[in-house]
Structure 1
Amino acid sequence: MRRTARLLAGTALAVAAAAPAHAVAPARAAAASPGVPAGRLEASPATVIPGEEVTVHTAGCGSAGAATGDAGALGAGAFPLAPGARQGEATGRFRVPPSAQPGTYEIVARCADGDRQVSGDLVVTLTAAHAQVQPRGSVKTGVGGGLGRDPGQTAAGVAALAVAAAGGTWLLHRRARGDGI
């Protein structure tokens, strides 16, 4: 058992030592900012309706945390990103134009310290994802409803049920007295 544990530990160390240094660097960069993955631009909310305000965050612009955002694909134009609450994170806001059409749009941010660029997606819909839609109309079950299409048929149905209930009561009463059926 000890021999197997040593063999597995030795293999793990050999693999870690053989891994290139650049393969470990992205993991460290991603660990630096727990809120937003490095190299990505995150929109909050990710799904919006035209006219709503969007907040974007990125940890991909390094320690300066400043960038210029571009929502031109959406028609919102440029907006600034400034250092956010978390270290190494840039935050900015823009409003989705009321004329925006439904679809998925790429939002881009160009970092202030170099040629680096990060991007993310924003989904525009015509109905709010968080709004509840109230049901309207009737359910088509094939049985009909209390306020059916024809009041005459509804009245005939109610009358038939009343006759059936009266007849059933009469038969049960007669049977209870012993008169038979």
Structure 2
Amino acid sequence: MRTARQLTTSAALAVTSAGLLAAPAAAAGTGTLEVTPSPVTPGTRVTVSTTACGAGGSATGDASAVGAGTFALAPGPRGKAAVGRFEVPPSAQPGTYEIVARCSGAGTGGRPVAGDLTVTLTSTASAREQAPVPVHPRGHVKTGVGGALGPDPVQTAAGVAALAIAAAGGTWLLHRRARGDRF
């Protein structure tokens, strides 16, 4: 026979196990927050929807994680989902952000639902739709060595004159050496 102590311990373990098993089932019924499109680039308008608030339900959304603040979700055109929109700020940094909405109305108990928004600097969809625009270089190349047609024509002329004098002097010295003249 079991003692009263063993029965109490067994009952407590059974209640605890039942509570642990019921917790995920309750959490699974909360629904999700759909964030479209994702990934997005800064400045993009995002649509958020959820069916967790029930038919004709509404919610208050919070996108402050990405810097967009709060927004309202109202019953959508079909009445089954609450729908809202916000704009990703141009200053948003790349990363994944949690967007949260809290249902309002009777029977929802302020139930929170969450979804992820991914922000990137380049959009894969727009890259496929648009052809790349060629970029042509402009201006002078700053290499530290002057160009033949540099920005200052006076310096260019002085350089050409110095080269001409050096060439003439070198030719004269070679000519004197070939004749056998001594200095």
Q: Normalised by the size of structure 2, how large is the TM-score?
A: 0.52
Q: Deviations along 1:21-51, whole A, 9 cap, x unmatched? A: xx99999x7xxxxxxxx61000110210000
CA distance in 2, matches of 1:135, 1:112: 48
**Which stretches in structure 2 are left out of the alignment for 5+ residues?**
1-23, 136-183
1:105 counterpart = 2:97: yes
1:125 counterpart = 2:117: no
**Which stretches in structure 1 are left out of the alignment for 5+ residues?**
1-22, 30-37, 138-181
* Percentage of identical aligned residues: 58
Give the aligned length: 109
Post-superposition shift, 1:131? Answer: 1.6
Q: Deviations along 1:150-175, whole A, 9 cap, x unmatched? A: xxxxxxxxxxxxxxxxxxxxxxxxxx
CA distance in 1, matches of 2:117, 2:57: 21
> Per the alignment, in what secondary structure is the counterpart of residue 125 of structure 2?
coil
Moved beyond 6 Å, runs of 4+: 23-27
CA distance in 2, matches of 1:87, 1:64: 5
CA RMSD of aligned residues (A): 2.9
Aligned residue for 1:76? 68
Post-superposition shift, 1:64? Answer: 3.6
Given residue 78 of structure 2, which amino acid in structure 1 is its aligned partner?
A: R
Cα gap change, 1:53/1:64 in structure 2, threshold over 3 Å: closer, same or farther?
A: same
Contact 2:68 2:87 (8 Å CA) reproduced: yes
Aligned residue for 1:53? 45
The structure having more radius of gyration, on CA atoms, is 2
